[in-house]
Amino acid sequence: MDKKDSAKKILKIAGVLAGFALMAALSVWILLLTREYGADYLIERLKDFVSSLGIWGIFFMLIIQTAQVILAFIPGEPIEIAAGALYGTFGGTALCLAGIFAGTFVIFLMVKTLGKDLVLKVIGSDKYSRLKFLKNPAKRDVLIFLLMFIPGTPKDVLTYFSPLCGMSMRRFLAIATFARIPSVVTSTYVGGTLAEGQYLRAALAFLAVGAVSICGILLYNKIIESKNAKIEDDQNNELH
């Protein structure tokens, strides 16, 4: 292993430790914040605002979730936690999945219309190049489902890239929606426990989700690196 590889490995380890420390600090901050101001007060203000919109309150949350999927730079967890606080774990999950389905549908149409240029603008050329191995139809669908199923992976990046892989809209919508269920449920559960006043449980659940997400990111990078390395080896063998 040369110095460059060693430096990359050290940076990855440092990044993981920093991410875990950040999630731990954030969990403690949430616990302290809810104890000082009361989660009940914060959640009630949110509920009052959504309730003031009447039936449009549900559509308001649905539109926000849909927009989050389309605007990939917006983190989805705060929206999912809010949905869980407002409608409970199951109700919040159903609402979020409906928004994810709608946002994914819009992305599919956008990518099919505007093509690779749109994807490069949204996710960048580096991320696009790393995902090229997914264009192989033999294992494409299983790999995309697996990468979206793993917590912590950049699901919105995969959502923009997948329509270029030759996948049908029906299959794409099914994979992109159902593979997200575990990550959505965990976030709405945190919101639901906050709404029930179980602050410590919510903070611990949030910390656990953060730890699992960090492991998911590492696994995601390992899978991508392994697949790309295999492609490079196959190409080198063909040349020889």
Residue 216 has which token pair? 């998911």
Structure-token match 């308001």, residue found: 60
Q: 24: part of which helix (H) or strand (E)?
A: helix 3-37
How many domains does the structure of the chain reveal? 1
Note whether residue 13 is domain-resident: no
- Calculate the CA 148 to chain-centre distance: 8
Note whether residue 51 is domain-resident: yes
Closest by Cα among 157, 166, 149 to 128: 157
Terminal-to-terminal C-alpha distance of the chain: 25
> Domain span at residue 141?
19-233
Does the predicted TM-score (pTM) go above 0.85?
no
Q: Which amino acid is at 75?
A: P
Q: Which amino acid is at 78?
A: P
Residue 18 has which token pair? 């920093």
Note whether residue 3 is domain-resident: no
Residue 239 has which token pair? 């040349």
Note whether residue 10 is domain-resident: no
Note whether residue 229 is domain-resident: yes
Residue 204 has which token pair? 């611990």
* pLDDT tens per residue across all 240 residues of the chain: 555 556 656 665 665 566 556 555 655 665 565 566 555 555 666 667 777 777 777 888 888 888 888 887 677 777 888 888 888 889 989 999 999 999 999 888 888 888 888 888 888 777 777 787 777 776 788 888 888 888 777 787 888 888 888 888 888 899 888 888 888 888 888 888 877 777 677 777 777 777 777 777 777 777 777 776 776 665 555 555
CA 26 → CA 32, 34, 37, 135, 184, distances in Å?
10, 12, 16, 38, 19
Do the beta carbons of residue 158 and residue 148 sit within 8 Å?
yes
